[in-house]
Chains A and B, each alone.
Chain A
Amino acid sequence: MAKIELQGLVKAYGNTRAVHGIDLTIEDGEFVVFVGPSGCGKSTTLRMIAGLEDISGGKLLIGDEVVNQREPKQRNIAMVFQNYAIYPHMTVGQNIGFGLYTSKLSKAEKQQRIQETGKILGLEKLLDRRPAALSGGQRQRVAIGRAMVRNPAAFLFDEPLSNLDAQLRSQMRMEIKSLHRRLGTTIVYVTHDQVEAMTMADKIVVMRDGNILQVGSPTDLYENPVDVFTARFIGSPSMNMIEGTVSGGKLAVEGASISGLTLPAHEGKTLVGIRPHDLVVGEAGEAGLSASGTVEAVEPLGSETLVHLSVGKAQLIATAPGRVVPAIGSTVSVHAGAGSLYLFDAVSEKALGRA
C-alpha cells in the first residue's frame, strides 16, 4: 500500500499541454476518483501514474519515492483497462495468473493465489474457461483478479465499467467498493460518469482542460461546488442555471419571485443554480424562490417525476412526487427553499455562496 503524490505534474505533446501542472495527494488506502468530460486529462494523468506515459514536468511520488523515470513494472501498481484487456488465448486462471508472471513465487503458491483470487471474485468455477465464454461482468472480474493477484501498492482503474449495461454497472460499482473495503488498497479510478464518482469515491477530483477544478468528498462537491462547471457536472440531473442580478442586496430573476434570502456579498450579474431535487413542483414555501412555468416534458421515474418546464427564457428541471405527473402544456408552480440556491459570478463562474 502506498501514498501517491502528484507535484506539478505536466504532460505535453509537442507544444500542446494535456495536463497543466497538477498537485494532488492520494492518501494510503484512499479511493480517489478522477472525473471530468472527455479530453480533460484524467486518463492521461492515470497513465502517467501507471508509467504508460512519460511525465513532461513535475514529480510523481509513490510511497514517498520519486518514480518519474521508473518503468511501469517497477512501480508495483496494477491497472484495469476499459476493454478489460484479458487475453483471449488464455483461460480465466491463466489470465489471473498472468499478473504473477514476473513473480518469484513457486508454482504451487501461484496456483494458490489464483484460487484465492478466483474465490474472492466468484470465479472459482470459471477458471478453466476462455474469456469468450464469459459475460461482460465476469470479464471485468477477471481483469480485476489479474490486478488483485499481485498484491499491488495501488490499483488504477481506467473507465472500467463503461462497457457494461446499467444494471451490471451498478452491481460492479458496489463490488469494487466492497473489494476496496476488504483489501484497503489505494485506488485511483477514472470515469466520466459522475454517478460512479459519487457512489464510490472517498475523494473526487474534478478535472477540466488539464486542470484540477476541485478536490473533495462527494458530499462536499455536491454541497459546495467551487464553480459552475463542477456544480453542473456533479449531480444528476444537472443543476439548473438561471441568470439573475444582485442589486442592493436583492436578487432578481426573470419570471420568479424571491424572498427571505440572505445573500452573499456581491453586486451585478449572477448565475443562480438550483438542483432539480431542490426545485419542487406545487410546494409553496415562505422563503426562497418561487416560479410558475409551462410543462414541456415529463419523465416519470416511479419514485419521482422529473418535470421539464420553461420559466421565462430559462429551461428548468423540477421534481414532483412519483404519482404526480403534470400534463404537458399545463402551468405548474415550483419552489426552491432557502439555502438551496447556489450563486455564481456570471463572468468568472466562480461560486459566491449559497442563499
Chain B
Amino acid sequence: MTMASTKELAANSRDIRPGRIIAWTLLLIGGLIMITPLLFMFSTSLKTSGQVYDLRLIPAAPTLDNYIKVLGDGRFMQWFLNSTFIAVTVTLSNVFFDSLVGYTLAKFEFRGRYFIFLAILSTLMIPTEMLVIPWYLMSSQLGWLNSYWGIMFPGMMTAFGTFLMKQFFEGVPNDFLEAARVDGLNEFTIWWKIAMPMVVPAISALAIFTFLGNWTAFFWPLIVTTSKELYTLPVGISSFSAEASIQWELIMTGAAIGTIPTLLVFLALQRYIVRGVMLAGLKG
C-alpha cells in the first residue's frame, strides 16, 4: 500500500464518524418526509381518476390527459394570471414601501423613531387568523370585496419586510449617503440611486419571500373573493373539490403546474433566500 492511499484511507475514516452518519440519516429522513407529498402530487397528476387511490408512486399507465384538461380549461389560466398579477404587484409594492420605511427608520434621526419601529414590529406578533375579521369588515365597508385590491391590500406592506430592510440598510455606511448629499442629490434619489443598489441581496430575499407567500396564499383570497374569475390559483384548484366529486387528479395537476414558478424562483435566487434567512433570523 502506498503512502498516498494510506492517507486517503485515513481521511475517509475520519469523514465517516458516527455523528456524521446520524446527521446524514436525520437529514435524509427529513428530506424524504418533505419530498414525499410532492412526489405523490406529481405521480397523481399523471394518473387517471380510476387510479387515484392506487398508491403506487409510479403510475401503472401514466397519462398527460390531466395536464391537457387543466391547461385547456380557460379558468385555470385565468387563476394562474390572477395569482401572477397579485404576487408580482404585492412583491413590487413590498420592495418599494418596506425599503422606504426601513431606510427611513435606519438612517434618519427623528422623534418617535424607536416607538414607530416597535409598533411595526409588534404587528408581527398578531396571527393572520385574528386579522381576517377586521380586514373583512374593512373590505366590506370600503367596497373592496371581490376585487384584486381586496385580495392584495393586507400584504402591500409588511412588518417583516420593513424589519428585514431596516437591518440591511443599517449596514450601509453613512459616508455613501453623505457623499451623495454633498453631490447635491435629494433624499429620495439618494435612497433610490445609492442605498437601494447596495442592499440588492436583501431586496432579492424580500422579493422571494413575498412572491412565494402570495403565490401560495389561500385563506384570505378564499374569504375575500366569491367570483370564480377572481380566484387565485390555490383557491381555484381547491374549487375542483367543491364540484360534484373530489377530482384529486385535477387538483394535483393544478398544484403541480402551480409549483413550477415557485421552483424556478427558488432555483434562480436560492442563495439570496439563505442570506435573507440568516440575516433576519426568521423564516418567511
Chain A residues with CB under 8 Å of chain B are 50-52, 71-73, 77-79, 81-85, 87-89, 98-99, 101-102, 146, 150
Chain A residues with CB below 8 A from B257, complex form: none
B198 is an interface residue with CB less than 8 A from chain A: yes
Q: Which residue of B176, B178, B181 is within 8 Å of A87 (Cβ)?
A: B176
Known pairs A51-B182, A146-B179; list 10 more (Cβ under 8 Å).
Answer: A52-B178, A52-B181, A72-B182, A73-B181, A73-B183, A77-B182, A83-B175, A98-B180, A98-B183, A99-B183
Q: Which of chain A's residues have a CB closer than 8 A to the CB of B178? A: 50, 52, 79, 81, 85
The docked-state distance in angstroms from the alpha carbon of A102 to that of B183 is 8
Q: Which residues of A contact B62 (CB under 8 A)?
A: none
Chain B residues whose CB sits within 8 angstroms of the CB of A51 once the complex forms: 181-182
**In the docked arrangement, what's the CA distance between A85 and B198, Å?**
12
Interface bits B165-178 vs A (CB < 8 Å: 1, else 0): 00000000101101
B134 close to A (CB within 8 Å)? no
Report the separation of the CA atoms of residues A218 and B147 in the bound assembly, to the nearest whole angstrom.
Answer: 75
- The answer on a CB contact under 8 Å between B194 and A52 is no
Q: Name which residue of chain A comes closest to B176, CB basis.
A: A85
Contact B198 A72 (CB under 8 A): no
**22 A–B contacts from the bound complex (CB under 8 Å):** A50-B178, A50-B182, A52-B181, A71-B181, A72-B184, A73-B181, A73-B182, A73-B184, A73-B185, A81-B178, A81-B179, A82-B175, A83-B175, A85-B179, A87-B176, A87-B194, A87-B197, A88-B198, A89-B197, A89-B198, A101-B183, A102-B184
CB of A197, distance to nearest CB on chain B (Å):
22
Note all chain B residues with C-beta closer than 8 A to A150: 183
The count of residues in chain B whose C-beta lies closer than 8 Å to any C-beta of chain A is: 15
Enumerate chain A residues within 8 angstroms of B194, measured Cβ to Cβ.
Answer: 87
- Name, among A52, A78, A82, the residue most crowded by chain B CB atoms within 10 Å (CB to CB): A52
A-side contacts of B176, CB under 8 Å: 85, 87
CA distance A87 to B194 in the complex (A): 7
Could you tell me the distance in whole angstroms from the C-beta of A277 to the nearest C-beta in chain B?
Answer: 38
- Which residues of A have CB within 8 Å of B180? 98
B197 surroundings in chain A (CB, below 8 A): 87, 89
Residue of B nearest to A150 (CB): B183
Closest 10 CB pairs of A and B: A73-B184, A85-B179, A102-B184, A89-B197, A85-B175, A81-B175, A72-B182, A79-B182, A85-B176, A72-B181
Q: Which residues of B contact A (CB under 8 A)?
A: 173, 175-176, 178-185, 189, 194, 197-198
Give B196's nearest chain A residue, CB to CB: A89
In Å, the complex CA distance between A99 and B178 comes to: 13
Chain B nearest CB: distance from A272 CB in Å? 44
Interface of A is mostly: loop
C-alpha gap A81/B175 in the complex (Å): 7
A72 contacts which chain B residues (CB < 8 A)?
Answer: 181-182, 184
Check if A78 sits within 8 Å of B185, measured CB to CB: no
Nearest B residue to A102 via CB reads B184
Contacting residues, chain A, for B182 (C-beta < 8 A): 50-52, 72-73, 77-79
Nearest to A50 among chain B residues (CB) is B182
**Distance (whole angstroms) from the CB of A213 to the closest CB of chain B:** 28
Q: Which residues of B contact A83 (CB under 8 A)?
A: 173, 175
- In the complex the two chains form, what is the Cα distance from A24 to B176 in whole Å? 29
Which B residues lie within 8 Å of A78 (CB)? 182-183
Contact A101 B184 (CB under 8 A): yes
Name the CB-closest residue of B to A77: B182
Residue of B nearest to A100 (CB): B183
Bound CA span A150–B179, Å:
13
Min CB–CB distance A44 → chain B (angstroms): 13
How far is it, in angstroms, between the C-alpha of A98 and the C-alpha of B178 when the chains are bound? 13
B173 to chain A, nearest CB (A): 6
Q: How far is the CB of A251 from chain B (nearest CB, A)?
A: 50
- CB neighbours (8 Å) of B183 from chain A are 73, 78, 98-99, 101-102, 146, 150
Find chain A residues with CB under 8 A from B175 CB.
81-85
Please measure, in the bound complex, the distance between the C-alpha atom of A77 and the C-alpha atom of B182, giving whole angstroms.
Answer: 7
Instruction: List B contacts of A52 (CB < 8 A).
Output: 178, 181-182
Q: How far is the CB of B204 from chain A (nearest CB, A)?
A: 14
CB distance from B264 to the nearest CB of A (A): 26
| Chain B residues, CB < 8 A from A73 | 181-185
CB distance from A89 to the nearest CB of B (A): 4
Which interface residue of B178, B180, B197 has the most chain A CB atoms within 10 A?
B178
Q: Which residues of B contact A88 (CB under 8 A)?
A: 198
Closest to B194 in A: A87
CB within 8 Å for A101 and B185 given contacts A83-B173, A83-B175: yes
Cα(A50)–Cα(B189), bound, Å? 19
Expressed in whole angstroms, the Cα–Cα distance for A118 and B197 within the complex equals 24
B202 to chain A, nearest CB (A): 14
